[in-house]
Structure 1
C-alpha cells in the first residue's frame, strides 16, 4: 500500500498484506469510498465478534497525550458497571482539562429508579475517586434518551475546544457518538460497534463545524471485569440489553447462589433476609444449600451452571468475605457482571469470583 488509509469503523490503519493482522482489507475493497476493515465488515453485516489482543499501556499512553492539549474530556461510564467502567486515575493522565461525565445505559435500570438520586450518586462517587466533574449527564445511547441534554452539555463545556471521548471498553462511547451524529450531524452511523469489548482499535477523528474535532479514543481494556473473560458467543448471557428485572432470593444462613458458572455467593452467617440480584435477565441463577455447593459446582459447572461452557477459560476462584452491618442497604458489586443488594440484617457473605476480578461493597445505588 502506497497511501495510508484508516478504517472509518474502528480507526485502525488498513493493510492488504496479512489477513491475520488488524486492519486487513482485500485490495479491491481498498478503493471504495469510506473503506472499512474485514473485521468491521463482518461485525456490521454478520454480527461476528472476535477477540483482539490489546495493550492497556498503549491505550494509557494515548490518554496521556490529551494532557498536552487544551480540550474537553468526555468520560463515558457504564452506569450498570460504574466501578468496572471508570478509568482509574484519569485525572493524572489528562492534565488540567475539564471532565464531563456521561453516565450511559440508563435504560437498564428499573423504571422506578430515581434519576436525580442516580446523578447525585455519580457526582459523589466521582469526587471520591478524585474527579470534580464539570457536569454529569445520564443517558442511554442505544435508546437515544436525553441526547439533547448530552449535546448541550458538550457544547457548553467544550468552549470551542476539541472533544476527547474516553472510557473503558464496552462503556458505549462509539454508540453514543453514532447517536449524536445521527441526530445532530445529519449523517448515518459511521463507527463500528459490537457487544464485545475493544471494538475501536485506534483514534477516530470526526470534524466539527468550527474546525475542531470529536476524537473517539479506543476503549481501555480492564481485565478485572468478568465481561472481558467471557467468550463472544456467551456475552449475551452476561451483558444486559434490556431493563433489568431484579431477582429476589430470601436466604437463610447456610445457603448458596450460583450465577451461571461464573460466581458463587455463600450466605455464611446471619438472619434470613432478601438478596436482590441486579444482573442480565438471561443469566441463570441457581440456589442450593452451602453444604452441597462444592459438589454441585464440580459436577454441573459448564452445563447446568453456565456460562462459561468451558470452565478452564476462567482463572480459579478466589474468596472474598464481607460483613453486612444491617444498618443500611449495601451492594455487593462484581465488576463486569452486576451487583447484589442486601444488608437488611447483619450477616457474613462470601463471594467466590475468578482470581483478579474486582469485587467491592458500596452503599446501595438504588
Structure 2
C-alpha cells in the first residue's frame, strides 16, 4: 500500500518523477519539496502554481476568513458562504500591527460591520488581530475552543497571513510563512485541542504585484512593520510617483493625501507633464518598473476615500477632486470608502 507524504512547507504531495511539477523532491525522505527547500535556505523561488478551486469543506466546521489590512478593499468580496451556506463564518482582520498606533480600531470595526450589513454578508463574528501578537493568538485559540464544530478552516487571499496564524496556533515549525504568493499548495492540517485546523491554499487575486514582478523584488514592496503615514500637500497637476510603478496626479489645488505604504518605499513628487518622459526612460529613472502601463481617472467626493494599489498599500484622500492614476497594465487598483480616519 502506497503512503502519501506531504511537504511540510507547502502541503503538496511529494513526488520524485517530474521536476517541473508541484511537490518534486529528490527523495521522499525529505521534509520539503525542492521549491520550499530552495525558498527556505536560499531565497530562491521556483514558481508554485495558484490553486483555482476551493476544496470541499466539511459541514462540521467553522470558516475563518482571513484578510490583511492591506486587502481591506477586498473585504467580503470572496463569497465562500454562497458555496457552503450552512457553515459559520468568522472574519479575521489580520496584520493590524501594520497600522499606526493612532488608528481608531473601534471606528474601523464599526465601519466593517456597517459594510457587512450593506452587502448582506452572513458572519458569526469579526475579529481584528495580529498574528505576531502572542496575546491575540492566545485569545484566538481560546475563542476557537468555544465552538462545538470539529474542523476549523483558515481561508483568505494569498499573503493575508493565514500560515503565520496557523504556525502560531499549532506551534508548527515546518510550515513556511513568507511574502510569497501561492506558497501553500494543499491544506496543512494540525490538531488544536480536540479540533483540526486547516491552513488552506490562498485564494488567487488577479492584479497583485507578484503578477508583474519577480519574488526578490515584490517582497521588498510589501509592508512588514508598522507603517508611518506619509502626508503630502499637492497642488494642481502635481504628481506622486511610487517607485516606477504608480503615479497619482490631482486636478484641483490644495489637496492633502496620506500614503500608507512600506516605510522604505521610494516616493517622489513631480509634475503630471513629466510622467510620459519619466516612463520612456524608466530604466534610467527608477529601480523598480514594468514594461506596460495604463491610466484611469477617479472622481473623489467629499467623503474620505481609499485608493488601493494592489497589495503594496493604499492612500487616503478627501475631495472633491479628480485624480489620474498611471499603473502597471492589469494591476489591481480600487477606490472605496475609507474604513478609518
The alignment's TM-score, normalised by the length of structure 1, stands at 0.86
Closer/same/farther in 2, CA of residues 196 and 87 from structure 1, 3 Å limit: farther
Shift of 1:227: 4.2
Closer/same/farther in 2, CA of residues 120 and 202 from structure 1, 3 Å limit: same
Task: Give yes or no for contact 2:62–2:149 (8 Å, CA) kept in 1.
Answer: no
Closer/same/farther in 2, CA of residues 52 and 240 from structure 1, 3 Å limit: same
Shift of 1:272: 1.0
Closer/same/farther in 2, CA of residues 302 and 222 from structure 1, 3 Å limit: farther
**RMSD of the TM alignment (CA)?**
2.1
Which residue of 72, 95, 110 corresponds with 1:105? 95
Bigger shift: residues 236-245 or 330-339: 330-339
Q: Equivalent residue for 1:285?
A: 267
Q: Equivalent residue for 1:356?
A: 330
C-alpha separation between the residues in 1 aligned to 2:285 and 2:133?
Answer: 33
Closer/same/farther in 2, CA of residues 85 and 335 from structure 1, 3 Å limit: farther
Q: Equivalent residue for 1:165?
A: 154
Structure 2 counterparts to residues 170-181 of structure 1, below 5 A: 170-181=159-170
Whether 2:19 is the aligned partner of 1:51: answer no
Shift of 1:335: 2.4
Shift of 1:280: 1.3
Gaps of 5+ in 2: none
C-alpha separation between the residues in 1 aligned to 2:77 and 2:135?
Answer: 24
Task: Give yes or no for contact 1:100–1:154 (8 Å, CA) kept in 2.
Answer: no
Which residue of 202, 215, 237 corresponds with 2:186? 202
Q: Equivalent residue for 1:307?
A: 288
C-alpha separation between the residues in 1 aligned to 2:119 and 2:72?
Answer: 12
The alignment's TM-score, normalised by the length of structure 2, stands at 0.92
Which residue of 129, 142, 147 corresponds with 1:139? 129
Shift of 1:357: 2.7
Bigger shift: residues 197-206 or 131-140: 131-140
2:158 partner SS: coil
Q: Could you say which structure has the higher helix fraction?
A: 1
- Give the number of equivalent residue pairs: 340
C-alpha separation between the residues in 2 aligned to 1:282 and 1:227?
Answer: 19
Shift of 1:86: 5.4
Q: Equivalent residue for 1:36?
A: 32
Moved >6 Å (runs of 4+): none
Task: Give yes or no for contact 1:262–1:353 (8 Å, CA) kept in 2.
Answer: yes
